[in-house]
Amino acid sequence: MRDFIQRPTRRRLTGWLAAVALGLTGLAGMGTGAGAADYPSRPITMLVGYNAGGQTDLVARAAAQVMSDALGQPINVVNKPGAGGGVAARELTQAKPDGYTIMFHANSVVNNDPFLMKRITFTPEDFEWGGFITVYQAGLITQKDAPYDDLDGFVAWAKENPGFNYATLSPGARMIMQEIAKKEGLDANYMPVKGGGEMINAILGRQAVMAMSGGIHAKYPDDIKTLAVLTTFRQPSWPEVKSIDEFGYALGMDGRAGLMLPKGTDPAIVQALSSALQNAETDATFAKVTGAANIPIMFLDADAAKAEMERTYKEYGEIYRRAGVEPQ
């Protein structure tokens, strides 16, 4: 069904373009396959699987600018929202592996979403990885004036107050609280919320006593505090807040944003993109953009990114399976 809708048009379109290119230049076969030596010799398209204006989109655009300066070719950011990046990632798998179609996205589309959504079946092997530049500061959050200061305190409070409201953004967010509740014998109410803005609303408006945040709460230091961070390491914005693993729940997962490329892209091109991305580490404008949104910069190069993806895909899949979460 999907193919029926997508393919014929695409094929016709590419056919057309090919014909035009042929007619114009007469250089059939040269075209895009020019190879890594003179890469990049024309503008690059960067897919972003979220809406324009979101956090990841902002980082992507800032990164695109840095990379474009380094590579000497414009990088056009194209937003293809849908299915948490699934639509864009699928388009990437169908793109030519020539380095001229790349994607900037959260790695959760490969190491998280397949365990939640049955129709998203990506594995790390479906892509080449061009490096990660930022991390998401996910955490369990609550109101600043709440009577507890860390996850242990919350658990103690929750035992006295059964039926508390926990705002869940996604099945992943729900799973975290379910695992804690299962272990500690808590009675939680799960209140679904749509999107980060609504989640923040639920906390500021005191409709929920706790929520999982993907990192947006860093913008509200006066009203919101973090009880535990959900990454495997402590986060730069709250070095004093312990990670969920430190609290004794093996649920830590790291979300990173960076470059994905179609499978089979020339390793030299992957390297070129990875080192272009590395420039963002020290770029002042990039620092300003990420700093305003409190997004930490943690660069991993192409090789480290590939290893990270292979490891986390296995580990996170195991966390979801242990928790009994079935992809829907």
Partner 1 sequence: MQALISGFADVLNIYTLAWICVGVTLGYVLGVLPGLGKATGVAVSIPLTFYLEPVAAIALLIGIAKGSAAGSAVSAILLNTPGEPSSAPTALDGYPLARQGKAQKALKMGLFASVIGDFLSTLVLICLAAPLARYALLIGPVELCAILVFSMTFIGGLSGKSLIKGLIAGAFGVLFATVGLETESFIPRMTFGLLELDDGLPLVPIAIGMLAVAEMIVQAGNMRQLDAETARIVDGGAPEDRVVLWSEWKRCLAPILRGTLIGSVVGILPGLGASVGSFLSYGATRRASKNPEEFGTGRIEGIAAAESADNAVVPASFVPLFALGIPGSVIAAILIAAFVLHGLTPGPRMFQEQPQLVAAVYAAMLCASGVLLLIGYTGQRIFAQVTRVPIRLIIPGVLFLCCIGAWMETGSIFAIYIMLAFTVFGFLAKKLDFSFVTFLIGFVIGPSAELSFRQSLQILDHRWTKLLDHPIALVFIALTLVVLVVLARGRSAGPAGGVRPARDPQITPTHHEGRIS
Q: Which residues of this protein are in contact with partner 1, per CB under 8 A? A: 1-2, 5-6, 9, 51-54, 57-58, 61-62, 65, 77-84, 86-87, 90, 116-117, 119-120, 163, 165, 168, 170-171, 174, 189-194, 197-198, 200-202, 204-205, 207, 219-220, 222, 288-289, 291-293, 328
Q: Where are the alpha helices (DSSP H) in the chain?
A: 2-25, 55-71, 86-94, 108-111, 151-160, 171-184, 195-204, 267-278, 284-292, 302-322
Q: Which is nearer to partner 1, 201 or 232 (CB)?
A: 201
Residues with Cβ within 8 Å of 251's Cβ and at least 6 positions away in sequence, in order, are: 175, 176, 179, 230, 244, 245, 319
Q: How many CA atoms lie within 13 A of 129 on its CB side?
A: 26
In angstroms, what is the minimal distance from the CB of 270 to partner 1? 25
Q: Which is nearer to partner 1, 173 or 269 (CB)?
A: 173
* Helix/strand/coil for 97: coil
What values do phi and psi take at 289, rounded to 5? -65, -50
Q: Which residue carries 């408006």 as its tokens?
A: 205
Beta strand pairing status for 210-213 and 139-143?
antiparallel
Q: Which is nearer to partner 1, 88 or 140 (CB)?
A: 88
Q: Which is nearer to partner 1, 90 or 225 (CB)?
A: 90
Contact call for residues 47 and 92 (beta carbons, < 8 A): yes
Other CB atoms within 10 A of residue 191 CB:
14
Q: Which residue carries 């500021």 as its tokens?
A: 204
In angstroms, what is the minimal distance from the CB of 60 to partner 1? 11
Determine which helix (DSSP H) or strand (DSSP E) holds 113, and give its type and residue range: none
Instruction: Report the distance separating Cα 157 and Cα 164, nearest Å.
Output: 10
Q: Which is nearer to partner 1, 268 or 292 (CB)?
A: 292
Q: Which is nearer to partner 1, 157 or 220 (CB)?
A: 220
Q: Which is nearer to partner 1, 204 or 307 (CB)?
A: 204
In angstroms, what is the minimal distance from the CB of 191 to partner 1? 4
Q: Which is nearer to partner 1, 109 or 138 (CB)?
A: 109
In angstroms, what is the minimal distance from the CB of 316 to partner 1? 16
In angstroms, what is the minimal distance from the CB of 204 to partner 1? 6
In angstroms, what is the minimal distance from the CB of 141 to partner 1? 14
Handedness of CA 107, 110, 115, 117 (dihedral sign): positive
In angstroms, what is the minimal distance from the CB of 271 to partner 1? 27
In angstroms, what is the minimal distance from the CB of 301 to partner 1? 26
Contact call for residues 109 and 85 (beta carbons, < 8 A): yes
Q: 183 exposed, middle or buried (CB, 10 Å; 0-12, 13-18, 19+)?
A: exposed
